[in-house]
Amino acid sequence: MRGKSAILALLLLVSIIFVPCARNETATEKETIELDGFSLTMSAPKVDFPNSIEFNIEAESDAEITDITLQYRMDKVGLLPVTSVVFPAFEAGEKTSAEWKWDMTQTGGLPPGADLTYWWSLEDAFGQKTDTPVKTLSFDDGRHEWKDAPGSGFNLYWYKGDSNFAQQLIEAGEDALTRLEDDIGAMPERTIEVYVYGSTAALQGSLIFPQEWTGGLAYTEYGIVALGVSTDQLGWGKGAMAHEMAHLVVHQVTMNGYGIVLPSWLDEGLAMYAEGDLTSEFASALSSAVKRGQLDSVQSLSSSFPAQTAAATLAYAESYSIVDYLLDHKGGRENMLDLLGAIRAGSGYEEALQAVYGLSIDQLDSQWRQHLAAGGA
């Protein structure tokens, strides 16, 4: 079906390590330190996944303590690090304490495995200031005994299924990354962390505001993928693995500081492309729309896809087809990589499309339709 370079087979078997993965100990330890005239006692933050994190500190000084703040910074993919400052309520005095609960039911949740650094800042009535040492916390889902195994460019964490189950997901992820690198020129800029829950229900149970259809998520800012894959859904899981990892890679190589986002047909088309050839369900939807002359326009596919199942299936299939057309007939990986690079550099996608391919969105739409009408895939 394709005229592209063959994808190299990955023959190296990955060693599966059956070791529970627990990066945070139970938050019961306390640490007391003396800093700049302050005596400080800090407990390890208490993680209640996925709902909250609780931070607390006890402080003493010879002078009245007048200011306490908590500062934290998420480990996110971005151009500049962002530090958040929290002002917890406390009573000024020579001996005091402060605590803050990050209630994610109010703010929205974090993905499993999200890392953050944090520290406390204090000041007394004489202007003496101090900062506690910077600590690192991983927002781990401790409700499961995770096993872990390395892939090429990513790490896999799972708790249900045997080594063969994990190995097949790893191979699906590696195949997707190889396809993206060989045919599109895009590769991860940082290691991807993949968490595989034992079912879609378990995945949804890890989310603060889950949608009933959610089976996989790409947290592009964090470099984290979360999937819900039962052992009897391995075929679907392999496709979801490739799809969500592709979202991460594409977003990493197009991240910019201009607020420019990818059109849905490009974002979802590249993710579908990473899965391989269209399955019969998507191919049938596309073929039927071509025969009826009822294809969606490229312009309409630039925004959010329909919620209705049949319409969404067609939108995903069309997006794959547009990307496949560009790769097969419009300059291959070099032009696609240039398109993504132009978006990263700050061009809007229509401007980038014109600069790289010499096409307006309407011209792309017309040529793609002609290609399909002539029997193109």
| Domains and their CATH numbers in the chain | 30-135 (2.60.40), 144-255 (3.40.30.160), 258-377 (1.10.390)
Q: Say which amino acid occupies 211.
A: Q
pLDDT band at 28 (very low <50, low <70, confident <90, very high): low
Q: What is the mean pLDDT of residues 126-149?
A: 97
Say how many Å lie between the first and final Cα of the chain, rounded. Answer: 8
d(C-alpha 298, C-alpha 326), whole Å:
13
For the chain, what percent of residues have pLDDT higher than 70?
92
Closest C-alpha among 119, 140, 169, 132 to residue 27:
140
CA distance linking residue 141 with residue 174, whole number of Å: 25
Residue 202 to residue 227: CA distance in whole angstroms: 9
The pair of structure tokens assigned to 62 is 């010879």
Q: Report residue 279 as tokens.
A: 């399955």
Average pLDDT over residues 126-135: 96
Rg, Å, the chain Cα set? 25
State the average pLDDT for the chain.
90
Residue pLDDT, tens place only, 64-115: 999 999 999 999 887 678 999 999 999 999 999 999 999 999 999 999 999 9
CB atoms within 10 A of CB 304: 9
Letter for the amino acid at 124? D
Cβ burial 231-247 (10 Å sphere, 16+ → b, else e) = eeebebbbbbbbbbbbb
The counts of H helices and E strands in the chain are 10, 14
Token pair for residue 207?
């989310």
Please state, in angstroms and rounded to a whole number, the distance separating the CA atoms of residues 205 and 197. Answer: 10
Q: How far apart are the C-alpha atoms of 252 and 17, rounded to whole Å?
A: 28
Output the pTM of the full model. 0.86
Q: What is the C-alpha separation between 284 and 295, in angstroms, rounded?
A: 13
Q: Do 350 and 344 meet the contact criterion of CB atoms below 8 Å apart?
A: no
